[in-house]
Amino acid sequence: ALEKKEVKSKLGEKVGLPCCHEIPSSESLHNYRVYWQKNTTEVVLAYAEGKEISKHERYKNRTDMNSRNFTLWISPVEILDNGTYQCVVQHLKSSQNSFVVCGETVNLFVTADFSKPNVTAEISANSCESTEMVVRCSSYGGFPKPKISGTLNNMSMTWNVSWVSESSLSPYNVTGELHLNVTKDVIFTCSVEYSGFAKSTSLLLKKTDYCTVPTVPPSYNVITASSIIIIIFLLAITLAARYLPRHVCSHCCKPQDSMEEGVKECTKTPLGSKMTSETSSL
Structural domains of the chain ordered from first start: 5-111 (2.60.40.10), 118-205 (2.60.40.10)
Lowest mean pLDDT among 11-15, 69-73, 137-141, 250-254: 250-254
Which tens digits make up the pLDDT trace of 148-182?
998 887 788 888 999 999 998 999 999 999 998 88
Percent of the chain surpassing pLDDT 90: 49
pLDDT at 251: 52
Which band of pLDDT confidence, cut at 50, 70 and 90, is reported for residue 94?
A: low
What integer is the mean pLDDT of 214-241?
Answer: 73
Q: Are strands 72-74 and 15-17 parallel, antiparallel or unpaired?
A: antiparallel
Classify 232 in phi/psi space as left (phi over 0), alpha (psi -120 to 50) or beta.
alpha
How far is the C-alpha of 59 from the C-alpha of 122, rounded, in Å? 48
Which tens digits make up the pLDDT trace of 230-280?
888 777 787 777 776 655 555 555 544 444 444 444 444 444 444 444 434
pLDDT at 261: 45
pLDDT at 156: 84
pLDDT at 66: 95
Which band of pLDDT confidence, cut at 50, 70 and 90, is reported for residue 184?
A: confident
Check whether 43 has a pLDDT greater than 90.
Answer: yes
What integer is the mean pLDDT of 40-61?
Answer: 91
Which band of pLDDT confidence, cut at 50, 70 and 90, is reported for residue 92?
A: confident
pLDDT at 51: 92
